[in-house]
Amino acid sequence: MTDTERYDFDVVVIGAGGAGLRAAIEAREKGARTALVCKSLLGKAHTVMAEGGIAAALGSVWPEDSWEVHFRDTMRGGKMLNNWRMAQIHALESPDRVLELEEWGALFDRTPDGRILQRDFGGHRYARLAHVGDRTGLEMIRALQHRAVSIGIDVFMECKIVRLLQDGTGAVNGAVGFWRESGRFLTFGAKAVVLATGGIGKAWKFTTNSWECTGDGMALALWAGADLIDMEAVQFHPTGMVWPPSARGLLVTEGVRGDGGVLKNRDGERFMFNYISPFFAAETAETIEEGDHWYTNKKDFRRPPELLPRDEVARAINSEVKAGRGSPHGGVFLDIASRRTPEEIRRLLPSMYHQFKELADIDITTTPMEVGPTCHYAMGGIRVEADSEATTVAGLYAAGETAGGMHGSNRLGGNSLSDLVVFGRRAGLAAAERALEIPGAPQVSEAQVVDVTRHATSYFDNEGAEDAYAVHRELQETMQALVGIIRIESELLEAKEKLAVLAERASKCAVEGNLQFNPGWHLALDLESMLAVSNCTTLSAIERRESRGGHTRDDYPGFRPEFENVNMITRLVDGEYVVAQEPKPQMPDELAKLFEEGAH
Amino acid sequence: MAIDTGPAPSTAPEPPSDAPPKDLVMHLWRGDASGGRFQEYHVAPQEGEVVLDVVHRIQATQAPDLAVRWNCKAGKCGSCSAEINGRPALMCMTRMSTLPTDQPVTVSPMRAFPIMRDLVTDVSYNFEVAKLIPAFKPGPKDPDGLHRMAQVDIDRGQEFHKCIECFLCQNVCHVIRDHEENKPRYAGPRFFVRLAELEMHPLDTLDRRDYIHEDMGIGYCNITKCCTEVCPEDIHITDNAIIPLKERIVDSRYDPVAWLGRKITGRPTPLRASEARKHTGAAHAQPPAAATPEPGDSA
Ligand SMILES: Cc1cc2nc3c(=O)[nH]c(=O)nc-3n(C[C@H](O)[C@H](O)[C@H](O)COP(=O)(O)OP(=O)(O)OC[C@H]3O[C@@H](n4cnc5c(N)ncnc54)[C@H](O)[C@@H]3O)c2cc1C
């Protein structure tokens, strides 16, 4: 018999970023008894860091914009690997979700006639990102947080979920976690569980991601038997800080380029003009003059190559640095100082101004920033059904960064925040509908609970020298060096072997101290998730023998027809992670027409 | 700065056995609700580091169970609030190079909140207060389904929305810093900012004035501005949020029409701090004796 606190709910939402908050709000409003569980404090989730904006075809700046154009941009940005139905739902519903945030108190920047202002971002044909300076995620999370609190959702914060519970048929019927403060375990019985745990960036050394991004949801899903999809698709954001060392990886928002910032190499050359791929040539400016006109006249001019999708820009920066044309600290220059007045820069990009001033002693209104690629976003994730966000396991739903499919092989900036609220809402709705159909209270298996708590605390009994911090550091180095922005089979195979060794070592980590707020113990448990998910990323990266979006293979450059129509599925089979190719869903003809020559 | 951080919550630190010279010397508070003390750690300095980097390095190499709360390490989430050399600040935004090197750097937990463990405090009080705030209630939309707001009418609200809920303002507020007993009847600067943002929201239709006055205890605040001084987001908490709120409450009692007019246009109250102080000081600030500023506090 384990001594755990016990709670029963209709719906348990794991994760309180944008996706989890929106899911919980929906489930609660549909009448489900709903719990919201998060491993940090409420309002601190990774979503709070989002800067540039939320993409939605509101058409308040460019009336020409429409869901069809947004859909097309999203699919092309994802190199057509996206689940077409998710991309369609996203483009159709994101405007309503943005307006809803306003209804809940968000204050987006305004146009002169008082509507929501939209800003340019890479890969978006029109200025499409509703924003609040460069702190849009904060605005979003507060609006959702206040809403969630005002409708009385039960929040369990600083509580980490360790495993899901399943009934005899395999359906998810609960979860086990512990309070980080006391180490005391809790068992949730639930009729439906929504995973909204965010990404996996902490498996890489240089990342924009926060502490919590350890892939827990993906791992929980895997362990419950669910499929992951396209895990090889990892986004390296082109512009992270490169100096000082302690700030390396921190995001420099794409808003800098959206608002006119340009990339230059050591020689002052705007090198992006040398990296326009045929896929985007028709819609990209060929000269500096043309690119500069585009900011004010989108009808007659094409956008500058600095605003190509992120995978293109990240690869270009990587090549410039490799060719010896980089900046002193191994990046390139991002220059807004010569393009905008100091007042404009401080107004449009206050957090960037602040971040460079405080952390690097650099005034971005006078000095170019040094930037380079940094691990930013997981396009891959838990495989879901497009309309309901149901995973391949009954009773389990997923939304937000932890889910896959929506962004294909590369995500456009701004499309995550909109994804969170569009699919968070749908996941909450589907979970509530399921829960309200199931009578009685959920029956969790006490034996499963005992197994989970026994396993989780076993680290305190381990003896030996393995240390979670050291294993984590080696994991980050492995993923950075071998499963990074440019990949090659020999290195991926090496990574696979190293991960196996690291998993073995991680299982032997010895934890010092007691259960009370013990970061060494928390990290040992987070490592289980990071290792499981890193494994799937590596397996998928080996299997996709082509280059597409966030997955670049030195040994297989360019698209390959045999991979055009396949998704990489990873799952746990008999204790082993395995990868399989499965056909990608095909879009109906009326949508396919949007991609024909000349269509906008 | 005017903040009295009080006596250190500990006895003298333990000297380590074999400390190489020239290292950074860090005194980190370790303990839990039952007590604790500063523990000394030595680490080699690295270029460009912030306090949180050093704390993490100590955690990874010398003290694996050292409890510290953090998330983004980019000044955006407000998790890593602490008192560094007695000065309340975010660990992730305090560069080591800004601290004197000839003496140990001390890091202790925020004092106004109960200690959970080491540098982590129990900030649940704030989340309880948040539940009490009457929610945003917008008026009807325009016929085309949109709300229109002028940028000038939301500038002030956007300033308030910068709040990252680091709770440093709560930590230094004299009304509660050393007076746990005041917490049940006092919302604190963070929530005055929240209330001000609601009150000045051009779309909001609720009247929270009596509530702010009676339940949130704004009268206890005697505008010493300590909260403003520590705000990492540079929100002018006292001048732009608290004083205008106090003013509104005073005004509304004498002149409901003026309040209504402001509510409709949504324009923030112009800043007339001296006048506001006159009003609030005379009519409504009734701080309990405990909350009177200590000598040396600036007002
Ligand atoms: C610096 C930065 C800037 C960005 N800017 C933009 C932008 O401008 N526009 C845009 O569209 N996107 C942007 N993104 C991407 C976007 O912010 C993220 O993809 C998105 O916020 C993820 O949200 P989420 O709801 O899926 O999860 P998160 O916000 O990551 O939240 C995850 C939640 O799950 C909880 N959790 C995790 N594991 C567990 C567990 N085991 N038990 C319990 N709880 C758990 C966490 O505590 C947290 O509450 C940016 C990302 C970064 C890093």
Statement to judge: residues B128 and B165 lie in one domain: yes
Query: Which domain range does residue B137 map to?
Result: 124-282
| B107: β partners | B28, B84
Token output for B173: 């507020």
Domain count, chain B: 2
Same domain, B101 and B150: no
pLDDT of residue A535: 98
Q: Does B161 share its domain with B71?
A: no
Lowest mean pLDDT among A173-177, B11-15, B183-187: B11-15
B111 in a structural domain: yes
Dihedral class, residue B266 (left if φ above 0, else alpha if ψ from -120 to 50, else beta): left
Query: Minimal CA–CA distance to A236: which of A587, A557, A551?
Result: A551
Q: State whether A516 and B59 contact (CB < 8 Å).
A: no
Can A257 be counted among the known catalytic residues? Answer: yes
Q: Model confidence at B272, in pLDDT bands (50, 70, 90)? A: very low
**pLDDT reading at A245 higher than 90:** no
Which domains occur in chain A, in start order? 4-235+376-445 (3.50.50.60), 242-373 (3.90.700.10), 448-579 (1.20.58.100)
Residue B147 belongs to some domain of the structure: yes
Whole-number pLDDT of residue A291? 94
| Residue at B81 is within a domain | yes
**Separation of CA B238 and ligand 1 centre (Å):** 32
A425-456 per-position pLDDT tens digit:
999 999 999 999 999 999 999 999 999 999 99
pLDDT bin (cut points 50, 70, 90) of residue B267 is: very low
Q: Give which of B62, B76, B158 to mutate to test A binding, by max A Cβ within 10 Å.
A: B76
Query: Which of residues B80, B102, B121 is at a domain's end?
Result: B121
A138, A246, A517: residue with CB nearest B49? A246
The whole-angstrom separation of Cα A325 and Cα A266 is 5
- Quick one: pLDDT at residue B70? 96
pLDDT, tens digit (0-9, with 9 covering 90-100), for A463-512: 888 999 999 999 999 999 999 999 999 999 999 999 999 999 999 999 99
CATH (domain of B133): 1.10.1060.10
The answer to the question of residue B291 being in a domain is no
> Are residues A110 and B158 in contact, defined by beta-carbon separation less than 8 angstroms?
no
A411 pLDDT higher than 90:
yes
Q: For residues A379 and A234, is the Cβ–Cβ distance under 8 A?
A: yes
Q: How far is the CA of A47 from the centre of ligand 1 (A)?
A: 4
Closest CA to B234 of A54, A357, A211: A357
B165 with A103: Cβ contact below 8 A: no
Taking 90 as the threshold, does the pLDDT of residue B256 lie above it? no
Is position B20 within any domain? yes
From A44, A46, A212, give the residue whose CB has the most ligand 1 atoms within 8 Å, as the site to mutate. Answer: A46
Helix (H) or strand (E) holding B214: helix B209-214
- The answer on pLDDT for B273 being more than 90 is no
In this structure, what CATH number is given to the domain that contains residue B87? 3.10.20.30
- Contact call for A210 and B138, based on CB within 8 A: no
- Whether residue B252 is contained in a domain is answered as yes
The pLDDT mean for chain A works out to 96
The model's pLDDT over A189-203, given as tens digits with 9 standing for 90+, comes to: 999 999 999 999 999
3-state SS, residue A419: helix
Binned at pLDDT 50, 70 and 90, residue B262 comes out as: low
Residue B17 included in any domain: yes
Question: B164 and B76 in one domain?
Answer: no
Each residue's pLDDT tens digit, A94-122 = 999 999 999 999 999 999 999 999 999 99
Among B46, B73, B164, select the one facing A245 at the smallest CB separation. B46
Distance from Cα A439 to the centre of ligand 1, integer Å: 33
In tens, the pLDDT along A59-72 reads: 999 999 999 999 99
Same domain, B116 and B132: no
B77:A511 CB<8 A? no
Q: Where are the alpha helices (DSSP H) in A458-556?
A: 468-482, 489-507, 519-543
Are B35 and B164 in the same domain?
no
**pLDDT for the residue A2:** 55
Distance CA A57, CA A92 (A): 8
pLDDT (tens digit per residue) in B112-130: 999 999 999 999 999 999 9
> Distance (Å, rounded) from C-alpha A358 to C-alpha B92?
10
Q: Is the pLDDT at A135 greater than 50, yes or no?
A: yes
More confident residue, A1 or B113: B113
Nearest CB partner across the interface for B135, out of A137, A150, A516: A150
Same domain, residue pair B50 and B76: yes
Least confident of A265-269, A276-280, A392-396, A570-574: A276-280
Phi (first) and psi of residue A246, to 5 degrees:
-70, -20
- Determine, yes or no, domain membership for B168: yes
Asked if residue B268 and residue B135 are part of one domain, the reply reads yes
The predicted structure's pLDDT at residue A464: 80
Predicted structure pTM score: 0.92
Confidence (pLDDT) at A408: 98
Residue A487 is a catalytic residue:
no
B138 and B101 housed in the same domain: no
Predicted pLDDT at B295: 34
Residues B147 and B273 in one domain: yes
Domain end, chosen from B71, B96, B121, is at: B121
Between B270 and B104, the more confident residue is B104
**Contact between A75 and A87 (Cβ < 8 Å):** yes
Q: What is the ipTM of this complex?
A: 0.93
CA distance A302 to A290: 7
Question: For A568-578, what is the mean pLDDT?
Answer: 97
Collapsing DSSP to helix, strand or coil, B200 comes out as: coil
CA distance, residue A213 to nearest chain B CA (Å)? 10
Which one-letter DSSP state was computed for residue A357?
H
For residue A246, pLDDT beyond 70: yes
Instruction: State whether B132 and B264 are in the same domain.
Output: yes
Q: Rounded distance, CA B97 to CA B266, Å?
A: 44
Asked if B108 and B216 sit in the same domain, the reply is no
- Report d(CA A74, CA A218) in Å as an integer: 23
